Amino acid sequence: MNFEPYPFEKLTNLLENIQPNKGYFPSVLTIGEPQFETPDFIQKALAKNAALLKKYPKTTGESVLREAQRNFISKRFEVALDDTQIIPTFGTREVLFNFPQFLLFDKKEPVIAYTNPFYQIYEGAALATRSKVIHLNLSERNNFKPEIDEDELAKCDLVILNFPNNPTTATLSLEELGDWVKLALKHDFVLLNDECYSEIYTNKPTPSLLEAALHVNNIAFKNILVINSISKRSSAPGLRSGFIAGDATILEEYMKYRTYIGCASPLPLQYAAAEAWNDEEHVAKSRAVYKENFQIAKTILGTKIPDATFYLWINVGDALEFTKRLYKNYNVKVLPGEYLAREDAKGENPGKDFIRIALVESPQKTKDALIRIKECLNEQR
């Protein structure tokens, strides 16, 4: 298998011969990793349950964790699930890589469609399953929402959406998600929405694909799945706590598959994660910080405040040259958008000319970095 280097490796290669301006403190705005302390009550729960390391964890997850995750879905999205409709996972990256391998194993010529730009694990899963890929381009022309081509979708076995979207920050309404549910039923493909940014919204809570399924009367969630995690929500990526939820028929067989791949979460992590899933107060505090960062960006850069995520997706012209100049002159790292996307069948890379900025630092550090970015932008005008 010939996997592409990850975007951060490409960035390292792009900048390796550049000496940054030592007159500035380094600012790294490349990775979607919250730079805040994991809330104290989560850390205490982890320490309290450390003695459980002596026990093997069950692949199905502890009941306390499954219940916490189902409660989260119920309170946040008003969707009631039973235990057959959810599986706790070791974060979501492993699911995005191994679920397509499970789902597409018996397909002779599998086809996967996913949003472009994308989280690179989608591409890795396509390579691992020898799937043909259909890119659902997200561009300014379509307001960063995937255009629907039913002739193409009719060929698909699996379609992966990612809304709220990384990196474009776009969201889909309940009605728009409902249209995708109808397409999954009409053309009999499995539709999975990566909802890891669902809790990082700036004003109105964003909808889930599960809500949309109920909205269009798909009460059994046939062909419908979502994934989510607490990495962004709780500033706890190291807990590796996520879930996949939806179609019970699919999940029943996927659960059997998971017993072989050895990715059960250690028990102390599960108990700490349960505390995190059950609490909303700490999430509201994080949202307030991210919203403040967006307000700062609006003041300094004139950018709009997006509905969700903690990213800025900005057209800077030649993004590779801008990224190098920003690092050399101002000691700030950002990520070129073309590293997060691929050329489609027409030779178009929808990430070209864009940079992604992760606003994951404190407001003061964010302000300092954005002022430098503004100065760099002014240089090229």
d(CA 304, CA 307): 9
Helix, strand, coil percent content, the chain, rounded in steps of 5: 45, 15, 40
Could you name the CATH architecture of 7-37+282-379?
A: Alpha-Beta Complex (3.90)
Q: How far apart are CA 138 and CA 340, in angstroms?
A: 12
Q: How many helices (H) and strands (E) does the chain have?
A: 13, 12
Interior/surface letters 168-205, b for 16+ CB within 10 angstroms, e for the rest: bbbbbeeeebbebbebbeebebbbbbbbbbbbbbbeee
Do 7-37+282-379 and 54-279 come out as alike in CATH topology? no
Cβ neighbours of residue 248 under 8 Å, at least 6 residues apart?
82, 84, 85, 220, 221
Per-residue pLDDT of the chain (381 residues; tens, 9 = 90+): 789 899 999 999 999 999 999 999 999 999 999 999 999 999 999 999 999 999 999 999 999 999 999 999 999 999 999 999 999 999 999 999 999 999 999 999 999 999 999 999 999 999 999 999 999 999 999 999 999 999 999 999 999 999 999 999 999 999 999 999 999 999 999 999 999 999 999 999 999 999 999 999 999 999 999 999 999 999 999 999 999 999 999 999 999 999 999 899 999 999 999 999 999 999 999 999 999 999 999 999 999 999 999 999 999 999 999 999 999 999 999 999 999 999 987 888 999 999 999 999 999 999 999 999 999 999 876
d(CA 188, CA 155): 10
Closest Cα to residue 64, out of 183, 241, 226, 227?
241
Q: How much is the pLDDT for 134?
A: 95
Residue 257: its pLDDT value, please? 97
Token pair listed for 336: 């070129």
Instruction: Output the pTM of the full model.
Output: 0.96
Between CA 366 and CA 184 the distance in angstroms is: 41
Q: Apex CA 109: angle with CA 108 and CA 112, to 5°? A: 130
Q: Is the Cα torsion angle 349, 350, 354, 360 positive or negative in sign?
A: negative
Q: Report residue 62 CA to chain centroid gap.
A: 25
Which fold would CATH assign to domain 54-279?
Aspartate Aminotransferase; domain 2 (3.40.640)
Structure confidence at residue 381 (pLDDT): 62
**pLDDT score recorded for residue 158:** 98
Sequence spans of domains, the chain: 7-37+282-379, 54-279
> Which sign does the torsion angle of CA 316, 321, 324, 329 carry?
negative
Give Cα 37 distance to the centre of its chain.
20
In this structure, which amino acid lies at residue 352? K
